[in-house]
Every structure is written in C-alpha cells, then in structure tokens.
Amino acid sequence: MRLGRHIGMIGILQTAFWPVAAAAVPVLTFESRGMKLQRELVESQVGPIWAMTFLPDGNLLMTIKSGAIKKYDVKKKSSTNVTGTPPVAVFGQGGLLDIVLSPSFKKDQKIYLSYSKQVGPNLYTTALGVGRFDGKALLGFREIFVAQGSSTKGEHFAGRIVLDGPSIWFSVGERGERDNAQILTNHLGKILRLTLEGKAYPDNPFVGRKDALPEIYSYGHRNPQGLVKHPITGEIWAHEHGPRGGDEINIIKKGLNYGWPKATFGKEYWGPTIGRSLVEGTEPPIHQWTPSIAPCGMIIYNGNALPGWKGLVIAGALAKTHLNLTELRNNQMVAEERLFAKETLRVREVEQGPDGEIWYATDDGSLFRIRKI
C-alpha cells in the first residue's frame, strides 16, 4: 500500500484512484503479434509478490513484500516457504524487495536480496544483502550495503538488482523527497554500481571526489523499479515512475544526470508542472509514458519460445493495470501493446522463464505463465 504510516497528498491521491481488482480466469487464450498464446493462472493468494527469479532446476523463487520467500515447484504446481529470511521493515511501499541469483550460483549458491530497513526512529532506507540457499533455507545471510540517506516517508524505495559479472547494479529511490536525486552526498535517487561485496566499484565516475559518494553511477532518478542488462548491447536499461505522467525508460550511462526533479514530463498530482521536460545538462529518456502507467518489473525478451515478442521491453503496469509490451527501434518507441488491462490487476513483476515462457505476478498474489500454443 502507498499509505502505510505515510499520510500525505501524493499517497492519498494515488490510492484514491487504484481500481478494484477484477478476478482473472484460470486459463485465457489470446493473440499477440501474430501468435496464439495461452495464459495460465498457476498460483493465487500467494501474497503481494514483489520479485521473482528462476533456479537452475527450473523452479521459481518469489519474494513477498511482508518478508517471506516462497519457492514454487513448477512440476508440482505448489509453493513452500523458505526459512532464514532476514528481518525487513514493512513500511509503506517498503518490505522485502528484489531477489537475484549470484552469477556463479551453481558453485556458491548465493542469493542477493534488497529490502527496506529501519535506521532510526521513523527513518527508513534501502539495503542489500546476500545469503546461501541450500534448497530449503537461506543460510548465513549478511547485509553488505545500506543506502546513505533516509526518510520518514514510506515511498520510493526502488531496490532493483542486476548482477553483471563482478559488479552489482542497484537502484535506490529518492524516498519521496525529490531534491535527494540531485544531491551526490547521499544514495537516494541514484543507480549505484557496487562490487559483489557491496563496495564502490573501482571505476565509478565519482570515486575520489570529496563532494560525492563513490558508489554512485548515475543520478537524477525518482523511483527506478525496473533494471536490466540488455541481452544484445550489454547496456543497463532502467525504467522509473514519474509523478502524474513522465514515467521513463533510460539507458544508464556513466556519471549522467537523468534530471529528476529539474527535468520531467510529469506534473504535480494536484496540477502544475514540476520542471521542464528537457533541461541542458540532463539526459532525456528514450521513451516516456504520459499518462503514467506506473511501470514495475522489466525484462527485454530474448527467448525463442515467443518469437513475436523478441526484443520487446516487457514491464508490469501498476496504475494502468496491464502487462506492457513496448517495441523500440533506434531508441524510439514504434509500437505498444497493453494486455489484460480489463482485469485491473496491478502487475508488479515480470520474468522470462528458462524455456522462454513469460511469467508475471500481481499485487493480489497471483502468478501467471504465458506460452505459445
């Protein structure tokens, strides 16, 4: 929930316009981009699923916002609880967030988690930790990074993780205090590059500067809840929430300022503009959504099972309650498809399965699988 303990105009307005979720049918056949597809509801009432990752054996791990991790057995179609999860601060939009396997998981069995953390009286921030998964439990979990900067507000924790060889890309939201995104002495409103032990990556752009934190790779972000490595170019792509309009897709480049709140296509929830859409010295998005769809979760599809979706950016939509397919050519949007919007289910997470099928999860605790028929 956006409100939690946070009582403010933004939380009230956004919550007021959330639709009442319409139930999904167990099996749905539909067409998309020349393909006949089937969507199956494989699990329901799991709890608010925030993130997912597939294990080498094809089974699925899911984080539940309340702090649990569930393992879903794809063959048995049932889930069990993973023990040994760390304590998290369930506060506003915060809780247990992303989950990602180590690049050498088959050898080290390490799993990285992000979560909201209480760091003082009514003060919260975003943290990162790692533990070893033995198939049933998370063992020896330890915290390796805590974002500097905190807020009493319950919004914009971000927390998406990309593991890329020897480095971790990690998104941290500005916590609803927009000026944080332009301040280089905290981690809020930034995308960070860390070592696998949570330290600043050695060639980050602000290493050695006294007026900036060395973990920062880019800044001027609002609430990046999508973060991926492009399967072809190797670039880091992110999407982030705008306010009323101005959700963005960005290609993350070293040391650049992505503008928030100086440069945004969005407006205040109560009406007026916030900044200008384009500001010299800031990096414009390659695509923006106005009105907002509230994107959450993100992949760039690179499988063969759904050939019509090859290369598409696939994201969840919280505000517009759909699965979003965006086709970009030369970094410009040329086509978009919005699936399942009539169900009014808030799509939180999207993952590509090991066989190329698409799995996605919604805030009401539903887990879906899409495949070609």
Which pLDDT does position 24 carry in this prediction?
85
**Distance between the two ends of the chain, CA-based, in angstroms?**
36
DSSP 8-state assignment for residue 127: E
Give the whole-angstrom CA distance, residue 349 versus residue 103.
21
Decide if 307 is inside a domain: yes
Number of structural domains the chain divides into:
1
Decide if 280 is inside a domain: yes
Geometric angle at alpha carbon 97, from 170 and 220, rounded to 5°: 40
Give the amino acid at 165.
G
Which pLDDT does position 3 carry in this prediction?
30
Kind plus residue range of the DSSP H or E element containing 194: strand 190-195
Tokens 């698409």 correspond to 358
14: CATH: 2.120.10.30
The dihedral over CA atoms of 317, 318, 322, 327, expressed in degrees to the nearest 10, equals -10
Which pLDDT does position 33 carry in this prediction?
97
What is the strand order of the sheet 358-362 is part of? Answer: 27-32, 35-43, 367-372, 358-362, 347-352
Decide if 290 is inside a domain: yes
Residues forming beta bridges with residue 336, ordered by sequence position: 326
Q: Answer whether 338's CB lies under 8 Å from 321's CB.
A: no
Which pLDDT does position 155 carry in this prediction?
97
* Residues of the domain holding 272: 9-372
Give the whole-angstrom CA distance, residue 279 versus residue 293.
23
Per-residue confidence of the chain (373 residues) as pLDDT tens digits? 223 323 233 333 333 344 556 778 899 999 999 999 999 999 999 999 999 999 999 999 999 999 999 999 999 999 999 999 999 999 999 999 999 999 999 999 999 999 999 999 999 999 999 999 999 999 999 999 999 999 999 999 999 999 999 999 999 999 999 999 999 999 999 999 999 999 999 999 999 999 999 999 999 999 999 999 999 999 999 999 999 999 999 999 999 999 999 999 999 999 999 999 999 999 999 999 999 999 999 999 999 999 999 999 999 999 999 999 999 999 999 999 999 999 999 999 999 999 999 999 999 999 999 999 9
Q: Got the DSSP string for 243-302?
A: SBS-EEEEEE-TT-B--TTTB-S-B-TTSSB-SBS--TTSPPPSEEESS---EEEEEE--
> How many Å is the Cα radius of gyration of the chain?
19
The pTM for the full model equals: 0.93
Give the residue numbers marked as catalytic.
156
Say which residues have a Cβ less than 8 Å from residue 211's Cβ, sequence separation at least 6.
Answer: 184, 185
Which pLDDT does position 156 carry in this prediction?
98
Tokens 């090859």 correspond to 310
Decide if 49 is inside a domain: yes
